[in-house]
Amino acid sequence: MIKDMNKEVKFSLVFRDMWQSAGKYQPRVDQLVKVAPAIIKMGCFDRVETNGGGFEQVNLLYGENPNVAVREWTKPFHEAGIQTHMLDRALNGLRMSPCSKDLRKLFYKVKKAQGTDITRIFCGLNDPRNVIPSIAYAKEAGMIAQAALCITASPVHTVEYYIGLAKQFIEAGADEICLKDMAGIGRPQTLGKITAGIKALKKDIIIQYHSHAGPGFNMASILEVCENGCDYVDVGMSPLSWGTGHADVIAVQEMLKDAGFKVKEINMEAYMEVRTQIQEMCDDFLGYYIPDLNHVNNSLLIKPGLPGGMMGSLMTDLEENLSSLNKWKEKHGQAPLTTDQMLVKLFDEVAYVWPKVGYPCLVTPFSQYVKNLALMNVTLMEKGKNRWEMFPDTIWDMVLGKAGQLPAPVDDEIRELAKSQGREFMTTDPQANYPDCLDEFKAKMQEKGWELGQDDEELFEYAMHPSQYEAYKSGKAKADFEADLAKRKAAKNAPAAGAAQPSVITVNLNGQTYKLDIAYGDAVPAASAGSASQAPVGEGEGIPAPLSGKFYLTRDNSESPKKVGDEVKRGDTLCYIEAMKILNSICADFDGVITAILPSNGDSVEEDDVIIKIARK
């Protein structure tokens, strides 16, 4: 029953998450500024999600300064009286890995100065030790602190669990509460009970509901939370609504209007204008990174509980890993797997892995950790190997408690594995594991002659995303993106068999022209073949890449890179391969001396490529 028939429910357009839930990239700043007036003209939004996790990294990846993007993008909404909000990851700030305390505090000062009003603070472990400090830092900076409850369905995530969590956040000063149903698997009646329970704690607390459409529950869930006092609902719009995205504002508005709620009308002329511009962005370049399956609702998502916000990257990762696995199968005379077969295997393995690692809420970064572990297990088992043979250090950090307390105990199977590797569980405050870093990054920027930026925003960006920022500053990120986009366009628009296909394309980057050789299928571009023949080749045994990804010599600035001539012991970390947003350490299998390092830092490598050569001692 509706408790207040005259209650108004307000809408927030989650423009950032619409794109993240669809594919890999976000629009450019010129596209954002162009679409903002039409979004405002729609007249139905009191809030717009403009930035946050999964926004700034991808700006850097294609060579755009995210600080400029945030300032320009938030400005028109402020002028129109519409609040802007962002998503942040508490201990992790805007990235996959934890941050130092001084960086976290600077984060909120920068975002407030850039024009973001509200920050949605979440921790995938729902650990108050991670969320509560961010509530204080956000309020100190003048932001509205919205504390999120990461919603999932498991034996430990009960109604009482969530109400108790909300009580802690409200007592710690949270201005608002968000029910972050990131996978859309919250059951409607359960969500209604949680909403009513929070309102019983504090009648005037603002509650905002965020849900993804994929599994099929979310329209019922939206109605249920609104009938129990929800104030704001996150919505999407065509052509990025439904599927792994969000319910469309038109459907939600009509449903709530019929139920007796006060809702704002939609200017349909403006809606169609925004819809057209979104399609133009897809046609320009963003659509090349949106897998077709992400447009489709799929109740198979209920079992693994994977969030809509990572489905864009998941399908890309799946495509790349399946291609690599099928090449291996072909070499070994085995039948290839289809995408659907691989997807079902993956979802089944996620359901197996999740309870064993303590039921972390499947939201960034822990959704990626569980999914990646499951995907690595599937790949290993398809090759006749054992589960857990690849278990990256970053995932161990989650399991061991370095990033916070897991909701449930870790399975004995994983505890035995940790013991066999000499790993210890910890219960200390996660922040204590990550010392302050800003002075170090200031010194590095001064050495490089880089400006700290307005309100220290460039310092913030460098400290938050070191490797991506360096690639952005050098122009490598832009060049890599242009090359990848050109390859995707060529593949999608390839002429009929037998027709001439281009072997060289020209890319203009900041006034400098580059020629890029391209090839089709499994062929090697001429330029790549030439560079490979010039790569230093030492004596000794080759260390193959165990998976496809980007090659890095170090994990962060605290490590010294290995070099030719270095002696290594069995078990020493040689380098890293970044795959599926995780840095996987590659270790030496025997004692020896490094005689060759073939890829350059940041290069893409394929599974089984020789990356390092070592002469045995």
- 3-class DSSP state for residue 550? strand
352-375: buried (b, 16+ CB within 10 Å) or exposed (e) per residue? ebbebbbbbbbbbbbbbbbbbbbb
> What's the pLDDT at 221?
98
Residue 430: C-alpha distances to residues 19, 62, 165 (Å): 31, 32, 18
Q: Mean pLDDT per 10-residue run, the chain (617 residues)?
A: 73 95 91 98 98 88 93 97 97 92 98 98 95 98 98 93 98 98 93 98 97 93 98 97 94 97 98 97 92 74 65 67 85 90 88 92 83 89 90 89 92 94 92 95 97 97 94 92 90 61 52 50 41 50 84 78 89 84 81 90 83 90
Residue 442: C-alpha distances to residues 432, 438, 463 (Å): 22, 6, 9
Tell me phi and psi for residue 289, to 5 degrees.
-115, 20
> What's the pLDDT at 104?
98
Closest CA to 47 of 6, 15, 93: 15
> What's the pLDDT at 588?
87
- Return the DSSP state at 246: B
What are the tokens at 441? Answer: 């990054």
> What's the pLDDT at 532?
36
10's enclosing H/E stretch is strand 10-13
Closest CA to 516 of 485, 551, 547: 485
Q: SS3 helix, strand, coil % of the chain, rounded to 5? A: 45, 15, 35
Just give the CATH number of 535-616. 2.40.50.100
> What's the pLDDT at 531?
37
Per-domain residue ranges of the chain: 10-290, 310-433, 535-616
Which residues sit opposite 246 in a β-bridge? 241
CATH topology classification for 10-290: TIM Barrel (3.20.20)
